[in-house]
Amino acid sequence: MHCPRCEGFELDAYVHKGIEVDRCLNCNGIWLDHHELDELEDQVIKQGTSKGTLVYANRESAISCPKCHIKMTEFNYRANDLAIDACQNGHGFWLDNGEDSRIKVLLEQRIKDLGRSGKAEKLWGKSKTVGSKSFFRKFKEWLKG
C-alpha cells in the first residue's frame, strides 16, 4: 500500500501501541484497518463504557483509500475538532501524524467528564429531601397566599 498523503511512499508494517498498523516513514501518518481504531480506543477506555457516536460532520476528503483507491470521507472524530479520514468502503482510517495521541487525550477527557457527570448526579440525588415541595408547588402556594 502507498501513503495517501505522500505519493509514491510505501507504507511499512509497524507495531504501534501494541497494534500492527501501516506507517508512512515520510509523514509519520498511520493506516488503521477498520477494527484497529477500536483497539486503539480500547487501550484508553474500559470495555462497556460508551464511546459516543464516531462520525460527525461527514465531508469529502482530499485523499483516497490506500486499499481500494476510492476517495475517502473526512469527519470530526466523536464531535471533536479532530478531522479523521475514513474509507467509504469500510477498509479503515488514516490518521495524520499525532492524531493517534489526540484520540487518546480526547477519550481520557471523555472518561473524566463521564466521572464528573456521575458524581454530580449522585450529589444531586443526595441533596433532595424526601417530602420537600417542588418549586412549582411552592409557587402555586405563594400565588394563593
| pLDDT 10s digits, 43-85 | 887 766 666 678 889 999 999 999 999 999 999 998 889 999 9
User: Angle formed by the axes of helices 34-42 and 99-127, to 10°?
Assistant: 50
| Phi-psi group of 36: left, alpha or beta (phi > 0 → left; psi -120 to 50 → alpha; rest → beta) | alpha
Query: In the predicted model, is pLDDT for residue 4 greater than 80?
Result: yes
Choice between 135 and 6, residue whose per-residue pLDDT is larger: 6
Q: How far apart are CA 51 and CA 100, in angstroms?
A: 16
Domain segments of the chain as ranges: 11-144
CA angle, 72 then 74 then 80, to 5°:
155
Instruction: Enter the pTM of the model.
Output: 0.75
